[in-house]
Structure 1
Amino acid sequence: MFDPERLALRTKLEGDFYFFCRYTFKQMTGMKWSRNWHHELMCQKLQAVYDGDCKRLIVNIPPRYSKTEIVVVCFMAWCLAKAPDCEFIHASYSARLAGNNTARVRDIVSSSWYQEVFPGVQLDPSTGGKDHWKTTASGVVYAAGAGGTITGFGAGKLRHEDDEYRFSGAIIVDDPHKADEANSDTMRQNVLDWYANTMKSRVNDPQRTPIIVVMQRLHEVDLAGWLLSGGSGEQWEHLCIPAVNEADQALWPAKHTREALQEMEDSNSYVFAGQYMQRPAPLGGGIFKTGWWQYYQPGQVPKIRRIIHSWDTAFKTKDHNDPSSGLVWAECDNGYYLLDRVNERMEFPDLKRKIHSVNERWKAHAILVEDKASGQSLIQELKQTTLPIVPIKVDTDKVTRAFAVTPLVEGGKVFLPMGAPWIEAYVNQLATFPNAQHDDDVDATTQALNYMHLNGGKTGLLDFYRGEVECLELQTSLAKSS
């Protein structure tokens, strides 16, 4: 019997994948879908895959942000509704996890509401396993674990080259790496080899069958990183959705507020850089490698030539804003010693007072402040005092400035105070740069090292003798404090 309402619903579900996801979620769980803009963006990309406009797609997105629900479960169920003869291979780091996902697809297809709207999609009663089942129209859904064998199964259908394109299935890889194994070179390489030697060859039509990889980033050379760098020889479209955008806004505030994301980053900046920001930093292997730093015992600083303060300023106090970083450096004959660190979120008046108080403890030969929008008013006011303010104009980007000082760090010329309560946070930020959410310490460090190295401590005669006296007094103070 003709039912115009059911026909209208079917037309809407087939034509709008995002609507299909929301409707399916409500039917299967009884709950309303919590909408966010990134859901629709992913759905648009997947519709392009179905239409044949995208053959290789990588989606990088934080964990628990609906990636499996949309890219794996709903997409397969939607494609089968439109083309019941689709052939899918779905893989994840765990065969059990992949099987659970394909079982959810089967549950949707066999549900009463789906059968009412899409009666042409029927399960083959001879196949009931959750990790391998078929439709009566010769559709196939097969689940496997990354690294496992896939013998006798392929994705998509090989059609005559003159036939008009019609979607017939895909390979969908979801989180191929287990998070706690991604830093193992052996385990990670196993996944890359598995893709190259097994999964890539499972497309029945290499020219038409799409492959989708959706995952959180875990390592620079994880599967997504390897594929994007051309490791498989394929051209990939890349949809990268970080937890915090360039405007410093949370991706999905209903899921994680900006403040909650900041807490997550503070607890483990390395994990946050990869899994949430999709910019994995090498642990101890970025621009500043952790093994390059030298350490000194407090009280064992050699003769000091001059003291330099370096400030990277910010005037906002919200948790997600960059703090102001103030670093106190000693220039010695054998290198540069970090003596103290201030890292706080302060309003303008508090920042001025802090700069004065730091100078009272560590008398500076020069106080460096970057001449940028947030520092210009500070520079103007502090120049009215007796503080030796030196505005620093920059004409290169942060990464270029960082690379300029890496020879000093790598050459063992930069010393950090052993046992300082803040030293771990400082080293972690520099180790994850440029992928860390904050780079205040990095900016203050590169500013100081570039200044000291390029200026070489040249002063007039009066300044020289005054500096000698001040450094002798500081040396005595450091020795007593040890």
Structure 2
Amino acid sequence: MLRKRTFPAIDLIALEREACRRSLATFAKRAWRVLEPATPLRWGWALDAICAHLEAVTRGEITRLLMNVPPGTMKSLLTGVIWPAWEFGPQGMPHKRFLATAHKQDLAVRDNVKCRRLIQSEWYQARWPVPLVHDQNMKTKFETVQTGFREAMAFTSMTGARGDRVILDDPLAADDANSDAALLAAELSFLEALPTRINNDRSAIVVIMQRLHERDTSGLILSKGLPYTHLCLPMRFEAERRCETSIGFIDPRTTEGELLFPDRFPEEQVKELERTLGSYATAGQLQQRPVPRGGGLFKKGWFNTIKALPVGCRFVRGWDLAATEDKEAAATAGVLIARAPDGRFIIVDSTREQLGPMGVERLMKATAEQDRATYGAVRGSYPQDPGQAGKAQAQHIMRHVLTGFDYHFSPESGDKETRALPLAAQAEAGNVFLLEGPWNDVFLDEVAVFPMGKWKDQVDAASRAFTELTTAPKPTETRTTTMVGMY
């Protein structure tokens, strides 16, 4: 009678150790039982892709990695919890130093605690005995006896230590996506603080996040052409954006709209998410492009062009003022809109320039003179900044720049998106046209990404002109031109 052969437990542990050494994904599946013992693990190829790119960082093939993935795809757990533990133990690197950061320190500390719990677990220590020092074993920072550590901190408060690995996990909260102050703070932290937190030229920076805004950290990396390997995995496959990376990875999907992780996010759940999030959040958080493909609040297809103006139009030029020549800052924009006798709105002209204070005044005066010469009676409107200084500036412009012109000023009310809604509604209804001109493309490029785009000057100026046209009383006499052609 043959007896069933048994293997010593040590052999099974050795086999598991070797399997985990060879594959971060294998280690992650084993570690899941320690981290989430009551929850069944759902695994998909997207998680294999994340693991493969983190392995490439470990091998030194990648030192700058950007990963854009939807929420709920284990990005924080794989990158901030399991990967450091894998390097400390299975990879035999307990000397590595990790700095982990997120938009809130609580989130960074959460993953620090999970990583420490995994390393101190009986399962882990039986296979990779990595002792932690007793006098540096806290929620915010723990250290190995080989002087490696994992430290957690808020992204915009990065000070102190340096690391071999800097993990930046969701540098912006979804609520901060439309805050210029939050976007600027994240930009300064990324460009000025984070680069000083690495040890040497072999150290790695890993950014993993969902897209929230054109100017978020991912947008900054991509727009500046920084040398990051970019793994981008949208929830629904978009063939024209198929991801290919430096390690030979190619998104395996082939069908437009094919889901990223159907076992975790099936079709009905994704549809519910899309309905709940709306078009903006769906584009950013799920599709990893911060503007819907057809546009944001406005769509380019809503604007048809005409070659000439009809007779009997009323005209208003709205302004959005800035006072700097910095090419990266907001510009001064003036948009001229006509209202035709049949009720149509026609955007006649848009000017946008980066100018200092004197340049702004010269531009406004020259434009007012040109508008009068071309169209006759043109009403003008520009914003008054809050406070006494804003009132003084507005009065200076009226008295010394625009004397003799039908211009007035008023404070802004509500945010830029709210002010643009009435114009967007008319555009969607097919009631807004563009007079053909060389400015058309620049104007449409801006409105198509509003309010998620970097520039909002022309939209704000157009919103002001539209509001003035629809709320101001009609003049008793209006001089118009006949069939004004394109410029």
Mark the CA change 1:415 to 1:105 in structure 2 (over 3 Å): closer, same or farther.
closer
* Cα distance in 1 between the residues matched to 2:204 and 2:150: 15
What is the aligned residue count?
299
Matched, 1:112 2:122: yes
Match for residue 24 of structure 2?
17
Match for residue 270 of structure 1?
280
What per-residue deviation string (whole Å, max 9, x for no partner) do you get for residues 114-141 of structure 1? Answer: 000001x111111121111100011011
The unaligned stretches of length 5 or more in structure 2 are: 1-7, 239-255, 305-310, 312-339, 347-422, 432-446, 453-487
| 8 Å contact from structure 2 (residues 64, 227) kept in 1 | yes
What per-residue deviation string (whole Å, max 9, x for no partner) do you get for residues 293-344 of structure 1? Answer: 89xxxxxxx9xxxxxxxxxxxxxxxxxxxxxxxxxxxx9977599xxxxxxx
2:36 to 29, 36, 46: 29
* Cα distance in 1 between the residues matched to 2:34 and 2:424: 63
* Cα distance in 2 between the residues matched to 1:413 and 1:179: 29
* Cα distance in 2 between the residues matched to 1:333 and 1:256: 50
Match for residue 181 of structure 2?
186
Matched, 1:45 2:45: no
Match for residue 239 of structure 1?
231
| 8 Å contact from structure 2 (residues 280, 296) kept in 1 | no
* 1:111-130 matches, cutoff 5 A: 111-119=121-129, 121-130=130-139
| 8 Å contact from structure 2 (residues 140, 152) kept in 1 | yes
Match for residue 223 of structure 1?
217
Amino acid at match of 2:119: V
What secondary structure, in the 3-state scheme, does the structure 2 residue paired with 1:138 have?
Answer: coil
* 1:191-230 matches, cutoff 5 A: 191-205=186-200, 207-230=201-224
What per-residue deviation string (whole Å, max 9, x for no partner) do you get for residues 267-313 of structure 1? Answer: 411110000000101899859469x989xxxxxxx9xxxxxxxxxxx
Matched, 1:103 2:113: yes
Structure 1 residue 100: deviation in Å? 1.1
Match for residue 87 of structure 1?
97
| 8 Å contact from structure 2 (residues 169, 207) kept in 1 | yes
Matched, 1:249 2:258: yes
Structure 1 residue 37: deviation in Å? 1.0
| 8 Å contact from structure 1 (residues 293, 412) kept in 2 | no
What is the TM-score of this pair, normalised by structure 2?
0.56
* Cα distance in 2 between the residues matched to 1:262 and 1:182: 23
Match for residue 74 of structure 1?
82
Structure 1 residue 258: deviation in Å? 2.1
Match for residue 11 of structure 2?
4
Identity of aligned residues (%): 29
| 8 Å contact from structure 2 (residues 298, 428) kept in 1 | no
* Cα distance in 2 between the residues matched to 1:212 and 1:252: 22
What secondary structure, in the 3-state scheme, does the structure 2 residue paired with 1:39 have?
Answer: helix
Matched, 1:279 2:292: no
Mark the CA change 1:200 to 1:285 in structure 2 (over 3 Å): closer, same or farther.
farther
Structure 1 residue 255: deviation in Å? 2.4
Mark the CA change 1:66 to 1:332 in structure 2 (over 3 Å): closer, same or farther.
farther
What is the TM-score of this pair, normalised by structure 1?
0.56
| 8 Å contact from structure 2 (residues 34, 118) kept in 1 | no
Match for residue 429 of structure 2?
416
What secondary structure, in the 3-state scheme, does the structure 2 residue paired with 1:147 have?
Answer: helix
Matched, 1:132 2:141: yes
Structure 1 residue 416: deviation in Å? 2.3
Mark the CA change 1:293 to 1:4 in structure 2 (over 3 Å): closer, same or farther.
same
What per-residue deviation string (whole Å, max 9, x for no partner) do you get for residues 422-480 of structure 1? Answer: xxxxxxxx9679x9xxxxxxxxxxxxxxxxxxxxxxxxxxxxxxxxxxxxxxxxxxxxx
Amino acid at match of 1:136: V
Structure 1 residue 266: deviation in Å? 3.3
| 8 Å contact from structure 2 (residues 297, 424) kept in 1 | no
What secondary structure, in the 3-state scheme, does the structure 2 residue paired with 1:212 have?
Answer: strand
Mark the CA change 1:332 to 1:44 in structure 2 (over 3 Å): closer, same or farther.
farther
Match for residue 149 of structure 1?
158
Match for residue 474 of structure 1?
none
* Cα distance in 2 between the residues matched to 1:280 and 1:99: 28
Mark the CA change 1:32 to 1:285 in structure 2 (over 3 Å): closer, same or farther.
closer
Structure 1 residue 264: deviation in Å? 2.7
Amino acid at match of 1:208: R
| 8 Å contact from structure 2 (residues 213, 290) kept in 1 | yes
| 8 Å contact from structure 2 (residues 283, 292) kept in 1 | no
Amino acid at match of 1:259: E
| 8 Å contact from structure 1 (residues 87, 139) kept in 2 | yes
Q: CA RMSD in A?
A: 3.6
What per-residue deviation string (whole Å, max 9, x for no partner) do you get for residues 65-123 of structure 1? Answer: 1111111110111011120101000000011110110111000111111000001x111
Amino acid at match of 1:149: M
Structure 1 residue 234: deviation in Å? 3.2
Mark the CA change 1:147 to 1:2 in structure 2 (over 3 Å): closer, same or farther.
same
Mark the CA change 1:139 to 1:266 in structure 2 (over 3 Å): closer, same or farther.
same
Structure 1 residue 5: deviation in Å? 2.4
